Amino acid sequence: MALTLSPRSESVLKALIETYLVEGEPVGSRVLSKRIPGSFSSATIRNVLADLEDDALLDQPHTSAGRVPTEKAYRYYVDHFVQPIRPDPILGARLSEAIGGVEGQAGDAQWLRNASRVLSEAMNGICVALPMHLTRSRLVRLEFVPLGPGKPPARIVTVWVGTGGEVEHQILENTWGFPADKLVELGNFATAHFGGCSLPEMRDRLITDLEGQATDARELSRRLTELASRMNQPTDAPLVVSGLGEMGRCPEFLDPARFRNLVEVFEQHERLAHLLNAFAVAASAEVQLLLGSENPFFQEMPLATALRTVTLNKSAQVTFALVGPLRLDYRKVAGSLAWWSEEIQRRKPTSV
């Protein structure tokens, strides 16, 4: 059931969050009485704060301290009060530095690193960037090529040919001992049954669609499932992370142990790649905001994640995630990412 607050409670909650976003310290009733239109008394505000705390929207770190917003409060604030704003001229000029080169070598590694670095510095967060590959690519042909002289081969090269002409290669250890002739059969089987599917769709259909097939088809399906389960787990995901060191200066991560945990999370590139892939499609329509535990990959971290997928040309997309503490300027971040992606669409090459 959706939470509904009275106008008075909304005024107090909004003022408290916006004060906390700026100050970063627990907010008390005296401060709020000076900031809220209508000049509620401190006693009235204290009663409202107690009610908001009962609704799990506020925490009180210490008995005599003010209150701080919870993840639930931030979600209410984002849903009810946040209207994205365009970046000011200074920030806009800075963000434009992350577009330079999109007309030429769009999506190459150098452009990706530069764009990620500039976004991180301009908006004071960690920027993670991932080119879109097998998540959106649609299958035309799939091959499994033996690598090496062994019988069976010790390793396999998977070759995915997509509808946009893209060709993806990945090397897998042949832990299943598939012989060369079985690899050919598996590739032909996948091409015949799953043409036009993305890799995630193929994996889903392998589990559901072929349950009623004959014994031979079920066996091929089982073996292909084992291969496909490894295909989107590269050991060196083409992922860029920028700005991690800056996060250590945020009050939320001044504690060395907490910052060390943060670093460990962002060293898990495969996990980050799954995050960006999971929300890439939704982020291609608009900026996605995930708060705290809403992000299945950062559930134990007090982090906010803003995601946007940008189209560089007809065959290249990149998903960017800007990650910062929950005490984030949501209007600026959401508005700036939206504006930046629109600028890329306006400047991207039309001849490719």
pLDDT at residue 166 in the model: 60
pLDDT at position 235, please? 36
Please choose, from the candidates 253, 310, 280, the residue with its C-alpha nearest in 3D space to the C-alpha of residue 126.
Answer: 253
Domain 139-231, what architecture? 2-Layer Sandwich (3.30)
* pLDDT (0 to 100) of residue 210: 61
Q: Which CATH number does the domain 7-81 belong to among 1.10.10.10, 3.30.470.30, 3.40.190.10, 1.10.10.60?
A: 1.10.10.10
| pLDDT top residue among 41 and 2 | 41
CA distance 98 to 108: 13
Give the CATH architecture of domain 89-134+237-347: 2-Layer Sandwich (3.30)
Checking DSSP bridges between strand 316-325 and strand 303-313, what pairing results, if any? antiparallel
> Which residue has better confidence, 157 or 277?
157
Q: What is the pTM of this model?
A: 0.70
Average pLDDT over the chain, rounded to an integer = 84
Tens of pLDDT, residue by residue over 140-195, are: 899 998 887 778 888 898 888 876 556 677 788 888 899 989 999 999 999 998 99
Task: Summarize the confidence of residues 301-318 as an average pLDDT.
Answer: 84
Q: What integer is the mean pLDDT of 50-55?
A: 95
pLDDT tens digits for range 59-109: 988 776 789 999 999 999 999 999 999 999 999 999 988 887 665 544 467
The C-alpha angle 118, 120, 124, rounded to 5 degrees, equals 125
Domain boundaries, the chain: 7-81, 89-134+237-347, 139-231
- Residue 315 confidence (pLDDT) above 60: no
For residue 274, name the pLDDT band (cuts at 50, 70, 90).
confident
Q: Which residues of 202-228 are buried (b: 16+ CB within 10 A; e: fewer)?
A: bbeebeeebeeeeeeeeebbebbeebb
Q: Is the pLDDT of residue 13 over 90?
A: yes
